Amino acid sequence: MKISMTSLIMVTIILMILTLTILISKKSNMSREKNSPFECGFSCMSSARSPFSLHFFMIGILFLIFDIEISIILPMTNTSMTNMQEWLMSSMITMTILILGLMNEWKNGMLEWSK
Protein backbone atom coordinates (compact mmCIF):
# COMPACT_ATOMS: atom_id res chain seq x y z
CA MET A 1 0.00 0.00 0.00
CA LYS A 2 2.87 2.37 0.80
CA ILE A 3 4.50 1.76 -2.58
CA SER A 4 1.33 2.48 -4.54
CA MET A 5 0.60 5.62 -2.51
CA THR A 6 4.17 6.88 -2.95
CA SER A 7 3.99 6.17 -6.69
CA LEU A 8 0.69 8.05 -6.97
CA ILE A 9 2.14 11.06 -5.15
CA MET A 10 5.27 11.03 -7.37
CA VAL A 11 3.23 10.85 -10.58
CA THR A 12 1.00 13.68 -9.34
CA ILE A 13 3.99 15.88 -8.52
CA ILE A 14 5.58 15.13 -11.91
CA LEU A 15 2.38 15.97 -13.77
CA MET A 16 1.99 19.21 -11.83
CA ILE A 17 5.56 20.26 -12.62
CA LEU A 18 5.11 19.33 -16.29
CA THR A 19 1.88 21.34 -16.53
CA LEU A 20 3.48 24.29 -14.78
CA THR A 21 6.48 24.33 -17.13
CA ILE A 22 4.24 24.15 -20.20
CA LEU A 23 2.20 27.10 -18.93
CA ILE A 24 5.23 29.19 -18.00
CA SER A 25 7.28 28.54 -21.13
CA LYS A 26 4.54 29.33 -23.62
CA LYS A 27 5.82 31.94 -26.07
CA SER A 28 3.27 34.52 -27.09
CA ASN A 29 5.22 36.46 -29.74
CA MET A 30 5.91 33.95 -32.49
CA SER A 31 7.39 35.27 -35.70
CA ARG A 32 8.87 33.57 -38.73
CA GLU A 33 12.25 35.21 -38.14
CA LYS A 34 12.50 34.10 -34.51
CA ASN A 35 11.34 30.55 -35.24
CA SER A 36 13.83 30.00 -38.07
CA PRO A 37 17.22 28.46 -37.21
CA PHE A 38 20.35 30.59 -37.53
CA GLU A 39 23.13 28.69 -39.30
CA CYS A 40 26.50 30.46 -39.33
CA GLY A 41 25.24 33.61 -41.02
CA PHE A 42 23.59 31.80 -43.93
CA SER A 43 19.98 32.70 -44.57
CA CYS A 44 17.73 29.70 -44.09
CA MET A 45 15.13 31.19 -46.45
CA SER A 46 17.16 30.10 -49.46
CA SER A 47 17.74 26.59 -50.73
CA ALA A 48 19.65 24.21 -48.48
CA ARG A 49 21.50 22.85 -51.50
CA SER A 50 23.26 26.06 -52.48
CA PRO A 51 26.85 25.57 -53.71
CA PHE A 52 29.62 25.97 -51.16
CA SER A 53 33.00 27.43 -52.08
CA LEU A 54 35.57 24.65 -52.31
CA HIS A 55 38.42 27.13 -51.86
CA PHE A 56 36.91 28.30 -48.57
CA PHE A 57 36.79 24.66 -47.44
CA MET A 58 40.42 24.07 -48.48
CA ILE A 59 41.60 27.18 -46.62
CA GLY A 60 39.80 25.87 -43.54
CA ILE A 61 41.57 22.52 -43.91
CA LEU A 62 44.92 24.32 -44.26
CA PHE A 63 44.22 26.25 -41.07
CA LEU A 64 43.47 23.01 -39.24
CA ILE A 65 46.68 21.41 -40.49
CA PHE A 66 48.80 24.38 -39.35
CA ASP A 67 46.96 24.52 -36.05
CA ILE A 68 47.56 20.83 -35.36
CA GLU A 69 51.23 21.08 -36.33
CA ILE A 70 51.79 24.02 -33.98
CA SER A 71 50.00 22.19 -31.18
CA ILE A 72 52.44 19.34 -31.75
CA ILE A 73 55.56 21.54 -31.80
CA LEU A 74 54.80 23.81 -28.81
CA PRO A 75 54.52 21.09 -26.14
CA MET A 76 57.91 19.76 -27.19
CA THR A 77 59.53 22.59 -25.25
CA ASN A 78 58.05 21.46 -21.93
CA THR A 79 58.35 17.70 -22.25
CA SER A 80 60.99 15.36 -20.95
CA MET A 81 63.18 15.86 -24.02
CA THR A 82 66.25 16.97 -22.14
CA ASN A 83 68.53 16.20 -25.03
CA MET A 84 68.68 19.28 -27.29
CA GLN A 85 69.57 17.21 -30.33
CA GLU A 86 66.49 15.01 -29.87
CA TRP A 87 64.20 18.02 -29.56
CA LEU A 88 65.80 19.75 -32.55
CA MET A 89 65.54 16.63 -34.71
CA SER A 90 61.88 15.96 -33.89
CA SER A 91 60.84 19.58 -34.41
CA MET A 92 62.77 19.77 -37.70
CA ILE A 93 61.03 16.62 -38.97
CA THR A 94 57.66 18.09 -38.05
CA MET A 95 58.49 21.44 -39.70
CA THR A 96 59.79 19.68 -42.82
CA ILE A 97 56.55 17.74 -43.21
CA LEU A 98 54.61 20.97 -42.77
CA ILE A 99 56.69 22.89 -45.31
CA LEU A 100 56.52 20.06 -47.87
CA GLY A 101 52.74 19.97 -47.55
CA LEU A 102 52.55 23.75 -47.98
CA MET A 103 54.77 23.62 -51.08
CA ASN A 104 52.61 20.85 -52.55
CA GLU A 105 49.43 22.86 -52.01
CA TRP A 106 51.06 25.97 -53.44
CA LYS A 107 52.20 24.01 -56.51
CA ASN A 108 48.68 22.61 -57.06
CA GLY A 109 47.15 26.09 -56.83
CA MET A 110 45.13 25.52 -53.68
CA LEU A 111 46.23 28.84 -52.17
CA GLU A 112 44.99 30.92 -55.13
CA TRP A 113 41.60 32.30 -54.18
CA SER A 114 40.43 33.36 -57.66
CA LYS A 115 40.83 31.34 -60.80
Facing residues of 39 across strands?
42
Q: What is the pLDDT of residue 13?
A: 95
Inside any domain, residue 83: yes
Q: What is the pLDDT of residue 39?
A: 63
Please tell me the total count of domains within the chain.
1
Domain that holds residue 74: 53-115
Please provide residue 42's backbone torsions phi and psi, each rounded to the nearest 5 degrees: -85, 140
Tell me the residue type at 109.
G
Residue 105 near residue 62, CB atoms below 8 Å? yes
Q: What is the pLDDT of residue 110?
A: 73
Inside any domain, residue 99: yes
Inside any domain, residue 115: yes
**pTM, entire model:** 0.43
pLDDT band at 12 (very low <50, low <70, confident <90, very high): very high
